[in-house]
Amino acid sequence: MTATYRDVKADILDKITRGVWAPGSLIPNEVELAETYDCARATVNRAVRELADAGMVERRRKAGTRVRMAPVRQARFDIPLVRKEIEDRGARYRYALVHRDVLPAPDWLRARLKLGGRAEVLHLVCMHYADGIPYQFEDRWISLEILPQAREADFSQSGPNEWLVAEIPFSDAEISFLAVPADETLAAHLGCRAGDALFQTERSTWWQGRAITFVRLCFRPGHRMTTRY
Amino acid sequence: MTATYRDVKADILDKITRGVWAPGSLIPNEVELAETYDCARATVNRAVRELADAGMVERRRKAGTRVRMAPVRQARFDIPLVRKEIEDRGARYRYALVHRDVLPAPDWLRARLKLGGRAEVLHLVCMHYADGIPYQFEDRWISLEILPQAREADFSQSGPNEWLVAEIPFSDAEISFLAVPADETLAAHLGCRAGDALFQTERSTWWQGRAITFVRLCFRPGHRMTTRY
DNA sequence: AATGTGAATATGTTCAGGCAAAACCGGGCA
DNA sequence: TGCCCGGTTTTGCCTGAACATATTCACATT
């Protein structure tokens, strides 16, 4: 009764979670496993490789495969569009453009995105509402060197995020999560008090090594980001 | 000149990022790709499968493989042990047990972990320091139903996290990130002022479907969690 | 004792071929 | 018209074999 790679993976995982194969111990090599499960070595290889990708085991040529002492626990988060995030909760989404400006990139932004000396940027401030209640404050900076067409784009009806994903096929990004106190502006827009603790994400985005955009997203008080792993 | 699965993957990714294969469009099927790259279909399969795992493309039997409209942007975070996190920054790690108590699980915890009616829990409050400066406040609850040996464990020298990873081979978890204002206790321990915005993570952990532990980790002001994707 | 060398070994990758399963498509039938 | 039912296409998965590559270990040399 030959096993699928899923069977093999599940069984190995089971042996690890139950402690049959203790953390730090060596597990049988691929040939032996292929014999016990009566399948090809390639099947075992895929099973064990996926476990290695997931951080459950560690593999080294010749040394063999061993169960990780402390499994590298890693969490995966989906980064949705605000609109989708709100609509998925069954709430009505509303968008508003608060401010729009074209200006030379300020120093902190030039440093952050490694922009040239006289780079111009488009600065947008937007609000996202769920059922009419402030949900997220967006502080967006777009490099006009790479996306000059942003100068002409109309951001009064839909957010820059939706425009960007249509404009740029794919990109690298660096994302940070942190907590900030609300300043007067944030408090006014999010309907909270200055000093309130807000969950904030910051994202810098590049396309083919060149900076496109930096965004600061501030959520209403009490927001939490959750995942399982 | 036969290509490796890495070559194939890189080239497809390149075609996507450059917009040669636009978002939403269908890419050639595996047989065709195998011919263009002069390699086996299994090689193409691995390349494309990994791109699908990474959320770049979407595959459906018969329908073919298409470039995702809005690439499911997902970020991966490593969840390190505090000790390692601090030592990796080149700082000296210090641990301190602030409080230890055995008590019946409070209602909110019973609800959260789906514990039985008269479940007893071990409650620990700990501090983690980097170079002597408060780094993280830990509020830990351990179920004594499943881990009765925690009652006898010595948490005065090293943290409950390190004890737990040694005790439980592996587990499921749910993790949340949020921002909270510091209360008096937190302020006193972290050396900040009450009301300061703090980055907090909450984690619930299960082993084979049974709740093990709940922990609330509060970082010092200004902490940020960063990743690239 | 320290260092270099080669054999042994475990994983890494690829191949060609095949069957399985999902899903789309069109034709036949009520 | 509406529904079921094969046929076709495409990805998914497995096999058994082979070669590649990194790493360890034993052994010989310095």
Q: Predicted confidence band at A23 (pLDDT cuts at 50, 70, 90)?
A: confident
Amino acid at A44: V
Give the whole-number percent of chain B exceeding pLDDT 70. Answer: 98
Q: Is the predicted pLDDT of residue B159 greater than 60, yes or no?
A: yes
pLDDT at A73: 74
User: What pLDDT score does A156 carry?
Assistant: 92
B195 and A CB contact within 8 Å: yes
pTM for the model stands at 0.86
Q: Which residues of B154-168 are buried (b: 16+ CB within 10 A; e: fewer)?
A: ebeeebbbbbbbebb
> Which spans in A54-211 are helix H?
82-88, 107-113, 160-167, 184-190
**Chain B, 88-127: which have a CB under 8 Å from a chain A CB?**
none
Number of H helices, E strands in chain A: 7, 11
Asked if pLDDT for residue A204 goes beyond 90, the answer is yes
What mean pLDDT value characterizes chain A? 91
Query: Domains of chain B by range and CATH?
Result: 5-67 (1.10.10.10), 82-219 (3.40.1410.10)
**Rounded Cα distance, B87 and B96, in Å:** 16
Average pLDDT over residues A63-68: 89
Structure tokens at B31: 């047989």
Average pLDDT over residues A32-48: 91
Q: Average pLDDT of A101-106?
A: 95
B183 Cβ under 8 Å from any chain A Cβ: no
Query: Across residues A9-29, what is the average pLDDT?
Result: 89
In this complex, which protein residues place their C-beta within 7 A of any atom belonging to strand D?
A 2-7, 38-43, 46, 60-63; B 29-31, 41-42, 45, 48-49, 52, 59-65
pLDDT given for residue A182 in this prediction: 96
Tell whether the model's pLDDT for residue A1 goes beyond 70. Answer: no
Q: What is the pLDDT of residues B205-222, one digit of tens each?
A: 998 888 999 999 999 999
In the chain, the amino acid numbered B78 is D
Q: Identify the pLDDT of residue A171.
A: 76
Considering all nucleic acid strands, name the nucleotide whose C1' atom is nearest to the C-alpha of residue B52. D11
pLDDT higher than 70, residue A137: yes
Residue B184 pLDDT more than 90?
yes
Give the CA angle between residues A8, A9, A15 to the nearest 5°. 90
Q: What is the mean pLDDT of residues B4-18?
A: 90
DSSP 8-state symbol, B158: S
Task: From the CA of A4 to the C1' of C23: give the distance in Å.
Answer: 23
What integer pLDDT is reported at residue B111 of this predicted model? 92
Residue B71 has pLDDT above 70, yes or no: no
Q: Determine contact: A193 vs chain B, CB below 8 A.
A: no
The answer, yes or no, to whether residue A105 has pLDDT greater than 90, is yes
Joined together, the tokens standing for residue A36 give 């016990």
Inform me whether the pLDDT recorded for B92 exceeds 70: yes
Nearest residue (Cα to C1') for D22? A61
Q: How far is the CA of A76 from the C1' of C25 (A)?
A: 39
Covered bases, chain D (protein CB within 7 Å):
8-18, 21-24
Binning pLDDT at 50, 70 and 90, where does residue B24 land?
confident
Residue B80 has what pLDDT?
Answer: 80
Residues in A 140-159 with any Cβ partner in B closer than 8 A? none
Strands A133-143, A120-130: pairing kind = antiparallel
Higher pLDDT, A151 or B79: A151
Assess whether pLDDT exceeds 90 at residue A203. yes
Across A58-72, A79-93, B133-147, which has the greatest mean pLDDT?
A: B133-147
Averaged over B25-30, what is the pLDDT? 89
Looking only at the bridges linking them, the beta strands covering A93-104 and B172-181 are: unpaired
Q: Find the mean pLDDT for residues B100-106.
A: 95
- Separation in Å, CA of B67 to nearest CA in chain A: 9
Q: Lowest-pLDDT range, A58-67, A89-98, A155-164, B162-171?
A: B162-171
Chain pair A-B, CB pairs under 8 angstroms:
144
Place of tokens 């002597």: B132
User: Which CA distances in Å does A132 have to A52, A91, A100, A205?
Assistant: 46, 9, 22, 29
Q: Which residue is nearest to nucleotide C20 (CA to C1')?
A: B61
Residues in chain A closer than 8 A to B179 (CB atoms):
178-180, 197-200, 221, 223
- Which of A71, A176, A223 minimises the CB distance to B225? A176
The strand pairing partners of A205, in sequence order, are: A173, A213
The pair of structure tokens assigned to A19 is 């402690």
Contact state of B16 with A179 under an 8 Å Cβ cutoff? no
- Per the rule left: phi > 0, alpha: psi between -120 and 50, beta: everything else, A152 is alpha
DSSP letters spanning B58-108? EEETTTEEEE-SS---EEEEE---HHHHHHHTTPPEEEEEEEEEEEEPPHH
List the single residue in A69, A175, A199 with the smallest CB-CB distance to B229.
A175
pLDDT band of residue B23 (cuts 50, 70, 90) is confident
pLDDT of residue A209: 84
Confidence class for position A75, pLDDT limits 50, 70, 90: confident
Tokens of A218: 């501030």
- Which stretch of A116-130, A187-201, B13-27 has the lowest confidence by average pLDDT? B13-27
Could you read off the pLDDT of B134-152 as tens digits, one per residue?
999 999 999 999 899 999 9
pLDDT band at A111 (very low <50, low <70, confident <90, very high): very high
Q: What end-to-end distance do the CA atoms of chain B give, in Å?
A: 31
pLDDT computed for residue A191 by the predictor: 95
Give the position of tokens 């970020």: B75
pLDDT at residue A117 greater than cutoff 90: no
